[in-house]
């Protein structure tokens, strides 16, 4: 999620009334049983199956001025790790990309360079949430990629970017729970689909909030490389499944949640500066999930630190890192944990340090449907 939560956190007391208004319309109950989820998963895999021979090309798009951390790093890393496609990180300009809420990576290929290298376009384009959902360079490039026949996948609030590019009109969509009202207002002919972590409609796919990047990326790996490849990667990530099954009901604003955001915004003096110690070949996925979660407590700002400066992530991307950080609290990372285990551990640590309400805030923003029920102390 990009602008939505930042605007929410900065809201005045008058905004508290929004929690009870019609912007958060009641949800129908979540469907029971696994059969529907399996049909939905099959529909996605079939819609995303390669259409041409050879190795497909996946472009993972970023906006230099701000791109959501997990939305960008996780699909890029999963697809690189799967080895089923040529994966390119691209941005309007070559150079550093500021990630939100933390970290910074270098993207060396710009959109013009990608177009010269791939004049027929990408096979797939992955669109994370961005600081600005209406950047004309980004939306124009997406329209051209769609016209070439690329399948476009909007992760989380990347659905807002797809909408600005005209790719949601008349389609079914998912999107982050906070964006639902905005998307329906902007695209009255579109239809919101609750209780699915990913939805595809005529070459355009969308997902729910940030952590939906896990099952969606695995489903795309299955579509390109087969179920066995996706299953092996899911085991490596600690993901028990990658179906789109999802209960959207808990993900909404309430008066209590809104009040908690306002209080957090007012208590600016509680913000801490932390460091995350990084090294070459560090796991992008576990790093992204842990840093994203801690940063979303509203209490922590995280900076990557390495004695040698910038490091190379496991996916090959270059991560900005400073040589300082002395005296700052180190963000806890456990190399022995799988990435989703790391997220669950992080949520437990957040609850232990700041209380369960703060953990629930993070789960709400990341639209994470479950966490470890037992936290070891």
Confidence of residue 38 (pLDDT cuts 50, 70, 90): confident
Confidence of residue 17 (pLDDT cuts 50, 70, 90): very low
Region 75-101 average pLDDT: 98
- Quote the pLDDT of residue 264: 67
Question: Where in the sequence of the chain do the CATH 3.40.50.880 domains occur?
Answer: 33-237
Task: Say yes or no to pLDDT of 12 above 60.
Answer: no
Closest CA to 68 of 209, 183, 234: 209
- Quote the pLDDT of residue 205: 98
Considering the chain, what is the average pLDDT of its residues? Answer: 89
Region 249-269 average pLDDT: 69
Going by C-beta distance under 8 Å and a sequence separation of 6 or more, which residues neighbour residue 150?
59, 121, 122, 123, 124, 125, 203
Q: What share of the chain is helix, strand, coil (3-state, %, to 5)?
A: 40, 20, 40
Protein fold of 33-237: Rossmann fold (3.40.50)
Going by C-beta distance under 8 Å and a sequence separation of 6 or more, which residues neighbour residue 289?
70, 74, 211, 339, 340, 342, 343, 346
Task: Say yes or no to pLDDT of 46 above 90.
Answer: yes
Q: Per the structure block, which two tokens stand in for 165?
A: 């590019």
Confidence of residue 26 (pLDDT cuts 50, 70, 90): low
Which DSSP state fits 196? B
Confidence of residue 326 (pLDDT cuts 50, 70, 90): confident
CB 46 within 8 A of CB 287: no
Region 262-279 average pLDDT: 76
- Quote the pLDDT of residue 174: 96
- Quote the pLDDT of residue 34: 72
Task: Say yes or no to pLDDT of 13 above 50.
Answer: no
Confidence of residue 260 (pLDDT cuts 50, 70, 90): low
**Per-range mean pLDDT, top range of 61-65, 267-271, 297-301:** 61-65
- What is the number of residues in the chain? 377
Q: For 170-208, what is each residue's pLDDT tens digit?
A: 999 999 999 999 999 999 999 999 999 999 999 999 999
DSSP output for 231-294: HHHHHHHT-S----B---TT-S--HHHHHHHHHHHH-GGG-EEEEEE--TT--HHHHHHHHHHH
């Amino acid at each position: 999620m990009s602008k939505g939560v930042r605007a929410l956190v900065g809201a005045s007391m008058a905004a508290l009334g929004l929690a009870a208004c019609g912007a958060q319309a009641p949800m129908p109950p979540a469907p029971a049983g696994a059969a529907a989820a399996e049909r939905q998963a099959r529909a996605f895999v079939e819609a995303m199956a390669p259409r041409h021979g050879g190795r497909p090309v996946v472009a993972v798009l970023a906006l230099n001025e701000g791109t959501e951390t997990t939305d960008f790093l996780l699909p890029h890393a999963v697809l690189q790790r799967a080895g089923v496609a040529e994966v390119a990180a691209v941005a309007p300009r070559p150079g550093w990309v500021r990630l939100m809420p933390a970290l910074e990576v270098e993207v060396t290929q710009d959109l013009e360079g990608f177009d010269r290298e791939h004049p027929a376009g990408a096979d797939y384009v992955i669109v994370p949430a961005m600081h600005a959902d209406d950047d004309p360079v980004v939306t124009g490039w997406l329209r051209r990629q769609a016209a070439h026949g690329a399948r476009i996948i909007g992760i989380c609030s990347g659905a807002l970017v797809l909408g600005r590019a005209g790719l949601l009109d008349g389609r079914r969509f998912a999107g982050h729970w906070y964006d639902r009202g905005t998307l329906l207002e902007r695209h009255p002919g579109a239809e919101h689909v609750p209780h699915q972590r990913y939805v595809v409609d005529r070459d355009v796919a969308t997902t729910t909030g940030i952590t939906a990047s896990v099952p969606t990326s695995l489903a795309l790996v299955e579509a390109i490389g087969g179920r066995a490849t996706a299953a092996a990667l899911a085991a490596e990530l600690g993901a028990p499944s990658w179906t789109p099954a999802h209960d959207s009901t808990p993900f909404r604003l309430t008066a209590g949640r809104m009040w908690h955001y306002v209080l957090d915004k007012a208590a600016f003096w509680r913000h801490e500066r932390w460091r995350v110690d990084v090294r070459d070949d560090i796991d992008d996925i576990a790093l992204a999930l842990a840093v994203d979660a801690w940063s979303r407590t509203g209490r922590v700002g995280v900076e990557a630190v390495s004695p040698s400066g910038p490091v190379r992530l496991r996916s090959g991307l270059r991560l900005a890192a400073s040589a300082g950080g002395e005296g700052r609290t180190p963000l806890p990372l456990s190399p022995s944990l799988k990435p989703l285990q790391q997220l669950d551990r992080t949520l437990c640590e957040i609850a232990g340090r700041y209380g369960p309400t703060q953990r629930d805030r993070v789960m709400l923003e990341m639209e994470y449907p479950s966490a470890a029920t037992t936290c070891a102390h």
